[in-house]
Amino acid sequence: MQDGTAWVMGVAMTVVALLGLVIAGNATDSVMYYAGLGFCLFGVLFNYGMVARHAGTRKD
């Protein structure tokens, strides 16, 4: 990924993670709660993977 694209994807995944926390925080049933936590986990892990890839600690 190019530098600009990586930044855009990082910001987008941060928004997804925060949106997941909002969904989980406002959930009235367990399905939406766990779906929100899943979105948050996905966003955090995606950003972690991008940092690892661009910092040179992960070999592709």
Q: How far apart are CA 24 and CA 32, in angstroms?
A: 6
Which amino acid is present at 3?
D
Q: How far apart are CA 11 and CA 5, in angstroms?
A: 10
> What is the pLDDT, as a whole number, of residue 17?
96
Read off the pTM. 0.81
Which sequence spans correspond to the domains of the chain?
3-55
Q: How far apart are CA 42 and CA 16, in angstroms?
A: 8
pLDDT in tens, 4-60: 888 899 999 999 999 999 999 999 999 999 999 999 999 999 999 988 888 876 565
Query: Would you say 43 and 20 are in contact if contact means Cβ atoms under 8 Å apart?
Result: yes
The token pair at 36 is: 């929100």
Q: How far apart are CA 60 and CA 53, in angstroms?
A: 8
